[in-house]
Structure 1
Amino acid sequence: MTAPSLSKPHRLSTNRSTLPGAGLPGLGLAGLGLAGLVLLPGCTPQPQPAAAPARTPMAQYSNGATGAVGYSQRVPDFATRNFTPFNRQDAAAIALREWRLFGTPVADEDPHNRPEPSTPAMKPERLPGLWQRVGEYWWIGQDPYENEASYTGRTTADGQLFDAAHDGNYAWSAAFISYVMRVAGANDRFAYSPNHATYINAAASGSVPGLGAQNPATYAPRLGDLLCVGRGRSANITYSMLPTPYGFPAHCGIVVSVNENGPPFGRQLSIVGGNVDDTVALTHVPTDGAGRVSDANGQSYDSRYPWLTVLTPGYEADQEPDSGY
């Protein structure tokens, strides 16, 4: 059976009872995700920011190869100089911030049961204030020399409005992941790309320092990891086939909460991804008691998605050394 895409086309529902931390005393939407996110501050002295901005590869290819390195002026100084170490807490918090910006939608239904909206006005990515935000994902997340860097949620690189019925040609789910990694301070520890396959293959091949690809049959995702799946006819790609010598359609979400016990699956984790139902949405993923998303044979516990791999960015810390101050 062909697995559906986590990106377009999808619809969403918002069920607050399934949100991370829902029902916990004193934890409302303003503190969403903090139960699995905030850790006690440590006593390690604050590292000093780098004196100069970091340089990153200026070109990425779908087979995982990278081009020459350079400096992107589009990345905020606090990120490129690492005012705080690149850490899991920040990556998850940034993803949750964007999810709240789009209205905290939850996409847990089978994608086959979620039809496309009947009008462009029903697509969050095209709404005032949000289409520009998608443009920021492209602008900051992509390398300056990429044509896609000037896309928005409804316009081409030349500023021309594109047809909502063909917005799949401008899918921004990988741009969202790249944006979060940039702002979290990944610098040269990620393969920024408009295609998920680029950083999946880069992780599997070891071409990017610290970026790894783990087998979901043996590895339990952690906060800030990326959970990835092949889409459409690429759903039959397995972990043992990585890296592939070619690009393929895929989707990844950022793990924002683990070790959950609640609806709809009981044991579960939560991921946040872009371009799911034309928005930034949260999806719950079933796990076993050890937190893995697949059994020992690689069979996904999720009937919706045959999870392909878990990517582990080269985080320097689990949390900010001065978190809460």
Structure 2
Amino acid sequence: MATLKVKTDSLNLRRSPEIKDGNIITSLPLAQTVEVVDGNPANRFWEVKTIVNGSTLKGFVSAAFLRQFVSSAKEALISAAVKEWLRFERGNKLEFEDPQYKYVGEYWSKIGLNLDGKDRDQPWSAAFISFVARAAGYNDFKFAPAHSTYVYDAVKKRKSNVTTAPFWGFKITEHKPQLGDLVCRWRENPITSIDSLPSGGFKSHCDIVVEIRDSEVRTLGGNVNHSVSITAYPLNSSGFLRPASNVYGVLRNNF
């Protein structure tokens, strides 16, 4: 029996392979692992079993919203980001609420800063990426309170052909975003390309790719709408990021 992942943010687990009132057992979150019991390609709904809150559940899900596993390191990064998304109740809880502000404090503490979500003039999106990368075991990642630190490193490591680096920086016309990559966009001062980064640091934001659709990729990031939230970035017909939403580059996950 195949083991697959949920590839959308909410997938209904049903008692029977049909849509009707009272048929939903629960909603499975993004990156939930399911084991296929009966996966006939001719059927819309597949029978699966999965573990939710320590209990094994069995039911039917739409096969269109399941995906194959990627590398264990990429799955670890995605799962670590999803764990935080769920702690923020799928983006419905805000950074200054209790206990969510304490989670922001955890992100800061891992890079040696005594801040939390009540310090609302302190953007914490890079602290979030650093926290998630550390939780996923990316020990060579440049943990920092600013995105520019690890973006510089990803560009440098690609130019030096350091194949052990967790990420390499690419222009949006060079690499099609994949699961576990980082999509980066500028803040305040425009950046035309990842090949023309300003020196001395810059304001930026990056999100982790957690879902790929035909016309967009969906990402998870911290300090997005004052929470851990999903953002969609449009793709062109060839699968590359469109130059929209201030996007200047993509960091390819080498793991």
- Give yes or no for TM over 0.5: yes
Cα distance in 2 for residues equivalent to 1:36 and 1:271: 17
Q: Match for residue 89 of structure 1? A: 75
Matched, 1:193 2:191: no
Query: Is contact 1:36-1:257 (8 Å) kept?
Result: no
Query: Is contact 1:88-1:223 (8 Å) kept?
Result: yes
Cα distance in 2 for residues equivalent to 1:33 and 1:290: 25
Indicate which of 204, 217, 227 corresponds to 2:183.
Answer: 227
Cα distance in 2 for residues equivalent to 1:241 and 1:103: 38
Query: Is contact 1:271-1:284 (8 Å) kept?
Result: yes
Query: AA paired with 1:241?
Result: S
RMSD of aligned residue pairs (Cα, Å): 2.7
Deviations 1:174-197 (A, max 9, x none): 000000100000002x11100001
Q: What secondary structure is seen at the aligned counterpart in 1 of 2:28?
A: helix
Query: AA paired with 2:30?
Result: L
Q: Match for residue 246 of structure 2? A: 306
Query: Is contact 2:172-2:241 (8 Å) kept?
Result: yes
Query: AA paired with 1:195?
Result: A
Matched, 1:39 2:69: yes
1:2-41 matched pairs, under 5 angstroms? 20=8, 22=10, 29-34=27-32, 35=65, 39=69
Cα distance in 1 for residues equivalent to 2:11 and 2:28: 13
Indicate which of 234, 239, 243 corresponds to 1:291.
Answer: 239
Q: TM-score, normalised by structure 2?
A: 0.70
Q: Match for residue 177 of structure 1? A: 129
How many residues are aligned here? 202
**Which runs of 4 or more aligned residues in structure 1 lie more than 6 Å from their structure 2 counterparts after TM superposition?**
none
Indicate which of 199, 202, 210 corresponds to 1:245.
Answer: 199
Structure 2 residues without counterparts, runs of 5 or longer: 1-6, 15-23, 33-64
Deviations 1:19-69 (A, max 9, x none): 9255677596423245466528xxxxxxxxxxxxxxxxxxxxxxxxxxxxx
Deviations 1:199-221 (A, max 9, x none): 11111112774131011112111
Q: TM-score, normalised by structure 1?
A: 0.56
Q: What secondary structure is seen at the aligned counterpart in 1 of 2:179?
A: coil
Between Structure 1 and Structure 2, the one with more strand by share is 2
Q: Match for residue 133 of structure 1? A: 103
Cα distance in 2 for residues equivalent to 1:172 and 1:31: 24
1:94-133 matched pairs, under 5 angstroms? 94-105=80-91, 124-133=94-103
Q: What secondary structure is seen at the aligned counterpart in 1 of 2:219?
A: strand
Is the alpha carbon distance of 1:310 and 1:130 closer, same or farther for their aligned partners in structure 2, counting shifts above 3 Å? same
Q: Match for residue 318 of structure 1? A: none
Cα distance in 1 for residues equivalent to 2:208 and 2:217: 11
Cα distance in 2 for residues equivalent to 1:38 and 1:97: 20
